[in-house]
A and B are shown apart, each in its own frame.
Chain A
Amino acid sequence: MCTVCGCGQGETRIEGDHEHEHRHEDGTVHSHAYHHDGEHAHTHSHGVPQAPGGFSYAPRHPHHGHEHAHAPGLAPGRMVQIEQDILAKNNAYAGANRRLWQARGLFAINLVSSPGSGKTTLLVESIRRLAGRHPLAVIEGDQQTSHDAERIRATGAQAIQVNTGKGCHLDAHMVGHAFERLDLKEGGLLLIENVGNLVCPAEFDLGEAHKVVILSVTEGEDKPLKYPNMFAASDLMLLTKVDLLPHLTFDVAKCLEYARGVNPKIEVMQVSAKSGEGMDGWLAWLEKGVASAKN
């Protein structure tokens, strides 16, 4: 566990982490942890097995060993009031990200969907059509591989991959670290592509201005009912791959009815990265966000 921020997901790797940067000659593993206010702290641990080429955070509970000693003078069965949100820690990091991005006039969105909805294809096409009109960067979240970041970089845009290992979502802490490695100019657009999962990412605020949920017409129209939390947490729903509608039995009206039943305020756009249908409306939405985020 990172002793500064307490991150427990030891398998998280952010692209660009190199073993030589973090391993001393005596085999000491050196992990970094950053306060988001700019303070910098280090922890050292010895003999921790490392994934080849990647750095892991320090092991959990480096302070163990003190915990089983009984504190003197305490009666057993004492009650301690906590009243603390389980996500308080993530929310604190999300708040720090949000303040940083607002101060820099960045428009950040968190793209969420099930795997295979076409998030990366839509991003690649969106970046191509934006044609360098705004400074832009992408944070890609996947359990493994940097395939998606490579696809984004092929467009000429900067991208960084976060591999969550066993984690099923991005959290605000890892996104904060990934952002530090990007060189995104003020007034730009930060696109965060979350891990393909319609459950957990709904609960983890990353500091974004909006969650955008992507649902492709090759999935069921009842997805908003099956995964209501995600549709309730999103401000915009993009119904993608609409060029395939003539070949499918997907009921668009039903789908929109379900989505609005879960979230009466959700905005909906129908798009196809392939045919270009609806792309202008989606890009106009992005451009409006970029303009409003500028200081």
Chain B
Amino acid sequence: MSLAEGVLQIIEDHASKSGFARVKTVWLEIGALSGVETEAMRFCFDAVTRGSLAEGAVLEIVAVPGTAWCMQCGATVPVAERYDPCPRCGGYQLQVQGGTEMRVKELEVE
């Protein structure tokens, strides 16, 4: 819920800076390894935007796959979850590189 409020806050900040009054579409980038459940985000986004300039806006969630650096293989490998082993060597010496983002990417406004 706080994250959905964070999204609305970013939108409101930009509304005054960029001079728009209504948001039609919101694009979020959500990493597979971030703590965001996309369905929960949709539900909360609808709840917190009621009565705001983003009421009824379409929420487009761009999923960013998780990637990690495997120290044993010396390569970047895909991972679906934080506790997944390296798909090449089966080891756990992984450093998460991508897939933790939670960003407001773009807005369609009027």
Binding site for B on A (CB under 8 A): 6, 8-9, 61, 67-71, 74-90, 166-169, 171, 199-200, 202-204, 224-225, 228-229, 232, 258, 260-262, 264
Contact A61 to B52, CB < 8 A, known contacts A81-B106, A84-B104, A167-B2:
yes
Q: What are 23 A-B pairs at a CB distance below 8 A?
A: A6-B13, A8-B5, A67-B53, A68-B22, A71-B20, A76-B110, A77-B110, A82-B107, A83-B103, A85-B102, A85-B103, A86-B6, A86-B104, A87-B6, A87-B102, A88-B10, A89-B6, A166-B1, A199-B35, A202-B35, A204-B2, A229-B33, A264-B94
Which residues of chain A are within 8 angstroms of B2 by Cβ–Cβ distance?
Answer: 9, 167-169, 171, 200, 204
Query: Out of B10, B34, B92, B101, which one reaches A261, CB within 8 Å?
Result: B92
Bound form: Cα–Cα A67–B108 in Å = 16
**Distance A81 CA – B35 CA, assembled complex (angstroms):** 24
Contact size range, B: 35 or more
A228 engages B82 (CB within 8 Å): yes
Complex Cα distance A81/B14, Å? 10
Known: A86-B28, A169-B2, A203-B34. 16 other contacts (CB 8 A): A67-B21, A77-B108, A78-B109, A79-B106, A82-B14, A83-B105, A84-B10, A85-B103, A86-B104, A200-B2, A200-B35, A204-B2, A224-B83, A225-B83, A261-B85, A261-B92
Among A8, A71, A81, A229, point to the contact of B9 (Cβ < 8 A).
A8
Bound CA span A61–B55, Å: 14
Residues of A within 8 A of B60 (CB): none
Contact with A along B1-26 (1 / 0, CB 8 A): 11101110110111100111110100
When chains A and B are docked, how far (Å) is the Cα of A3 from the Cα of B105? 24
Task: Please report the C-alpha to C-alpha distance between residue A107 and residue B93 in the assembled complex, in whole angstroms.
Answer: 29
Given contacts A228-B81, A228-B82, A260-B92, contact A80 B7 (CB under 8 A): no
Determine the chain A residues whose CB is within 8 A of the CB of B6 once the complex forms: 86-87, 89-90
A264 to B94, CA, bound (A): 7
CA of A84 to CA of B93 in the docked complex: distance in angstroms?
30
List the A side residues contacting B105 at CB < 8 Å: 81-83
Contacts of A85 in B (CB 8 A): 101-103
Query: Could you tell me the distance in whole angstroms from the C-beta of A76 to the nearest C-beta in chain B?
Result: 4
Q: Tell me which residues across on chain A come within 8 A of B52, comparing CB atoms.
A: 61, 67
How many Å from the CB of B107 to the closest CB on chain A?
Answer: 5
Indicate the member of B28, B103, B105 with the most A CB atoms within 10 Å.
B103
Within 8 A of A (CB), among B69-110: 81-83, 85, 92-94, 96, 101-110
Enumerate the 7 nearest inter-chain pairs by beta-carbon distance, A residue then B residue, closest first. Answer: A228-B82, A76-B110, A86-B6, A71-B19, A86-B102, A82-B104, A80-B107
Using known A-B contacts A71-B20, A78-B109, A200-B2, determine if residue A262 contacts B82 with beta carbons closer than 8 Å.
yes
Given the complex, which residues of B lie within 8 Å of A228, measured CB to CB?
81-83
Structural contact, A69 and B83, CB atoms closer than 8 A: no
When the two chains form their complex, are residues A82 and B10 in contact, meaning their CB atoms are under 8 A apart? yes
- Write the chain B residue with the least CB distance to A78: B109
Shortest CB-to-CB span from A79 to chain B, Å, is 6
With most chain A CB atoms within 10 A of its CB, the pick from B2, B7, B18 is: B2
